[in-house]
Amino acid sequence: MAVSLASGTAAAVPSRQAGPERASLQAAALWTALAAAGLIAQLAVIEAGSSLRYQHYMGWARLAGERPLALAVFALQAAAATAGIFHRRREIARWMEGHGGWRLWTAALAFVLTSATVSRDPRAYLVELTVAAAVQSLNLATLALAADSLSHRVGDALISRLLRARRLAWAAALFAVAAAAFLNFAVYDRHPHVQDEVAYLYHARFLASGRLALPAPPAPEGFETYLMQVKGENWFPVTPAGWPAVLALGERAGAAWLVNPVLAGVCLLLAHALLARLYDAAVANLGTLLLAVSPWFLFLGMSYMNHTLMLACALASALCVQQVKTRGSLRWAAGAGAAAGWLSLVRPLDGAILALLLGLWLFAGGGIGRRLSTWAAFAAGLMVTGGLVLPYNAALTGDPLRFPLNAYTDERFGPGSNSLGFGSNRGLGWAIDPYPGHGPLDALVNSNLNATSINHELFGWSAGSLVLVILYALYGKKAPADRLMLALVAAVVAAYSLYYFSGGPDFGARYWFLVAPALIAFSARGALLLSRRGLAGVVLACALTVVFYLPWRATDKYRNYLGMRADVRELAAKYRFGRALVLVRGRAFPDYASAAIYNPLDWNAGAPVYAWPRSPETEARLRAAFAGRPVWVLNGPSLTGGGYEVAEAPR
Q: 514 pLDDT band (50/70/90 cuts)? A: very high
Would the pLDDT of 14 be above 70?
Answer: no
In a domain, 75, yes or no: yes
Of 517, 546, 561, which residue sits at a domain end? Answer: 561
Kindly state whether residues 512 and 573 are assigned to the same domain: no
CB 511 within 8 A of CB 503: yes
In a domain, 170, yes or no: no
Kindly state whether residues 25 and 152 are assigned to the same domain: yes
Q: Could you read off the pLDDT of 555-580 as tens digits, one per residue? A: 999 999 999 999 999 999 999 999 99
Pairing type for strands 214-215 and 234-237 reads: antiparallel
Q: 172 pLDDT band (50/70/90 cuts)? A: very high
Kindly state whether residues 143 and 29 are assigned to the same domain: yes
Which has the closest alpha carbon to 485: 513, 458, 520, 443?
Answer: 520
In a domain, 278, yes or no: no
Helix (H, G, I), strand (E, B) or coil at 27: helix
DSSP state of 210: T
Q: 18 pLDDT band (50/70/90 cuts)? A: very low
Taking all residues of the chain, what is their mean pLDDT, rounded to a whole number?
91
Query: Residue 164, Cβ neighbours under 10 Å: how many?
Result: 11
Q: 153 pLDDT band (50/70/90 cuts)? A: low
Dihedral pair phi/psi, residue 235, rounded to 5°? -135, 125
Full-model pTM: 0.93
In a domain, 82, yes or no: yes
Q: 149 pLDDT band (50/70/90 cuts)? A: confident
Q: 651 pLDDT band (50/70/90 cuts)? A: confident
Kindly state whether residues 571 and 549 are assigned to the same domain: no
Which amino acid makes up residue 18?
A
Of 502, 537, 561, which residue sits at a domain end? Answer: 561
Q: Could you read off the pLDDT of 354-411 as tens digits, one per residue? A: 999 999 988 876 655 467 888 899 999 999 999 999 999 999 999 999 999 999 999 9
Query: Residue 232, Cβ neighbours under 10 Å: how many?
Result: 7
In a domain, 418, yes or no: no
pLDDT at residue 16 in the model: 45
CA distances from 149 to 26, 299, 644 (A): 9, 33, 53
Q: What span, in angstroms and rounded, lies between the C-alpha atoms of 482 and 522? A: 8
In a domain, 218, yes or no: no
Kindly state whether residues 576 and 467 are assigned to the same domain: no
Would the pLDDT of 155 be above 70?
Answer: no
Which region among 85-99, 109-123, 251-265, 438-452 has the lowest average model confidence (pLDDT)? 85-99
Average pLDDT of span 430-445: 89
In a domain, 134, yes or no: yes
In a domain, 625, yes or no: yes
Average pLDDT of span 594-608: 94
Query: Residue 445, Cβ neighbours under 10 Å: how many?
Result: 17
pLDDT at residue 157 in the model: 66
pLDDT at residue 363 in the model: 80
Q: What span, in angstroms and rounded, lies between the C-alpha atoms of 406 and 397? A: 10
Q: 328 pLDDT band (50/70/90 cuts)? A: confident
Which residue has better confidence, 453 or 23?
Answer: 453
Beta bridge partners, 584, equal 634
Which has the closest alpha carbon to 474: 105, 48, 94, 38?
Answer: 105
Environment class of residue 573 by beta-carbon count within 10 Å: exposed (0-12), middle (13-18) or buried (19+)? exposed
Cis peptide bond prior to 590, omega within 30° of 0: yes
In the chain, the number of structural domains is: 2
Kindly state whether residues 147 and 96 are assigned to the same domain: yes
Kindly state whether residues 498 and 601 are assigned to the same domain: no
Of 500, 528, 561, which residue sits at a domain end? Answer: 561
Share of the chain above pLDDT 90, in %: 79
DSSP output for 487-512? HHHHHHHHHHHTSS----STTSSGGG
Q: Could you read off the pLDDT of 337-362 as tens digits, one per residue? A: 999 999 999 999 999 999 999 999 88
Residue 602: give the domain boundaries. 565-648
